[in-house]
């Protein structure tokens, strides 16, 4: 006669199987979202490893350079691209994409993450951009790891913003790079001046497996740095949100700072081992109308894809005198 298993035993086995499935899923998530040079899940990778080397001085290192041949013609539209270039690799492939893949050749601003200075200089010099670069830390490959702003227009007020907290396992620090571009010919209610100052940020938020409170605080720190009276602002970068709910929460947070989500609904902006989580790379703006936006999933110089938006200046509202 067959032996009948008790309901208690079946429930216990089912519970153990669910627990095991959860642990496997967590390990896979850590593996997928860990830095791409890793060969082990994040939790295992960091055990017994020394803390990251961080650049903790808010005043530097900070590098600038001028390779833009001349100011572009007057314009009322701007094209901005944000691109996480995966440890500053595949520079030649990236340059080729910005020379040939529409609409990249028309970019007025390029916001780059995971860069070292040598890669920034090569891209800026070859394509003809001024640049600002600030490393946050030293990456696992021994190269600097930070964010850059490239611009066809003159840059000023360059600075590095150290974001709060450190990754609890790696000890890595995150930063944002900020600069102001003077754009000529923009019709933003300053006809007597004929230019607009655009405040730019390139940022890289901690990975999705880090504590939510740490990531939220870093996102808020970038937002808090934006001047209240800045009429034209562009914030772009890798925010490492990998769920639709995370994207919605991020957009709501930045809407509270009077910043519009310029790139909603684009779908995945990265791939890892054949998986495509929700959009991790985003652009937020103030003082612009979004004319068009997209993600270039066929550009494969990185595990992220270039995300772009074409922006039109909004006229300033000048209060009428009583």
Task: Provide the pLDDT for residue 13.
Answer: 41
185-215 pLDDT tens trace: 655 444 434 679 999 999 999 999 899 999 9
Residue 171 has pLDDT above 70, yes or no: yes
Between CA 9 and CA 223 the distance in angstroms is 53
- The whole-number average pLDDT for the span 65-73 is 90
- Pick from 303, 266, 260, 320: nearest CA to 284: 260
- The whole-number average pLDDT for the span 111-133 is 98
| Confidence bin at 50 (pLDDT 50/70/90) | low
* More confidently predicted of 249 and 321: 249
Judging by DSSP bridges, how do beta strands 109-115 and 77-84 pair with one another? parallel
Task: Provide the pLDDT for residue 224.
Answer: 97
Residue 277 has pLDDT above 80, yes or no: no
- Pick from 106, 122, 82: nearest CA to 282: 82
- What residues pair up with 77 in beta bridges, in sequence order? 312
- Pick from 231, 230, 179, 169: nearest CA to 203: 179
Task: Provide the pLDDT for residue 52.
Answer: 85
- What residues pair up with 260 in beta bridges, in sequence order? 285
Question: What b/e sequence results for 14-30 when a residue is b if at least 16 CB atoms lie within 10 Å of its CB, and e otherwise?
Answer: eeeeeeeeeeeeeeebb
Residue 134: other Cβ atoms inside 10 A = 30
What are the angstrom distances between the C-alpha of 36 and each of 41, 196, 237, 273, 311?
11, 39, 18, 10, 32
| Confidence bin at 240 (pLDDT 50/70/90) | very high
Judging by DSSP bridges, how do beta strands 232-238 and 195-204 pair with one another? parallel
- The whole-number average pLDDT for the span 81-100 is 96
CA 80 to centroid of chain Cα atoms: 12
In what helix (H) or strand (E) does residue 276 lie, and over which residues does it extend? none
Between CA 105 and CA 97 the distance in angstroms is 8
18-39 pLDDT tens trace: 434 443 343 334 433 444 433 3
- The whole-number average pLDDT for the span 10-24 is 42
136-167 pLDDT tens trace: 999 888 899 999 999 999 999 999 999 999 98
Between CA 198 and CA 236 the distance in angstroms is 13
> How many helices (H) and strands (E) would you count in the chain?
6, 13
Task: Provide the pLDDT for residue 99.
Answer: 98
pLDDT over 90 for what percent of the chain? 68
């Amino acid at each position: 006669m067959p032996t009948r298993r008790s309901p208690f035993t079946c429930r216990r086995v089912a519970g153990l199987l669910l627990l095991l499935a959860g642990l496997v899923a967590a390990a896979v998530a850590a593996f997928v979202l860990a830095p791409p040079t890793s060969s082990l899940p994040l939790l295992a990778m960091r055990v017994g490893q020394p803390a990251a080397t961080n650049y903790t001085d808010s005043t530097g290192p900070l590098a600038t350079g001028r390779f833009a041949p001349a100011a572009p013609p007057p314009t009322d539209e701007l094209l901005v691209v944000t691109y996480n270039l995966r440890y500053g690799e595949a520079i030649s492939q990236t340059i080729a994409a910005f020379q040939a893949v529409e609409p990249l050749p028309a970019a007025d601003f390029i916001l780059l993450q995971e860069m070292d200075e040598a890669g920034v200089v090569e891209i800026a010099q070859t394509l003809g951009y001024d640049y600002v670069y600030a490393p946050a830390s030293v990456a696992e490959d021994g190269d600097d790891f930070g964010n850059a702003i490239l611009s066809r227009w003159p840059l000023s007020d360059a600075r590095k913003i150290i974001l709060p907290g450190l990754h609890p396992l790696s000890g890595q620090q995150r930063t944002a790079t900020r600069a102001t571009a003077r754009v000529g010919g923009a019709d933003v209610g300053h006809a007597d001046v004929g230019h607009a100052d655009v405040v730019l940020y390139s940022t890289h938020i901690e990975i999705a497996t880090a504590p939510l409170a740490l990531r939220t605080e870093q996102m808020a720190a970038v937002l808090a740095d934006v001047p209240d009276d800045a009429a034209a602002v562009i914030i772009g970068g890798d925010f490492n949100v990998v769920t639709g709910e995370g994207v919605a929460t991020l957009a709501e947070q930045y809407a509270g700072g009077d910043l519009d989500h310029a790139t909603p609904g684009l779908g995945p902006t990265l791939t890892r081992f054949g998986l495509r989580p929700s959009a991790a790379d985003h652009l937020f703006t103030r003082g612009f109308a979004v004319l068009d936006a997209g993600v270039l999933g066929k550009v494969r110089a990185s595990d992220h894809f270039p995300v772009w938006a074409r922006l039109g200046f909004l006229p300033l509202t000048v209060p009428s005198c009583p």
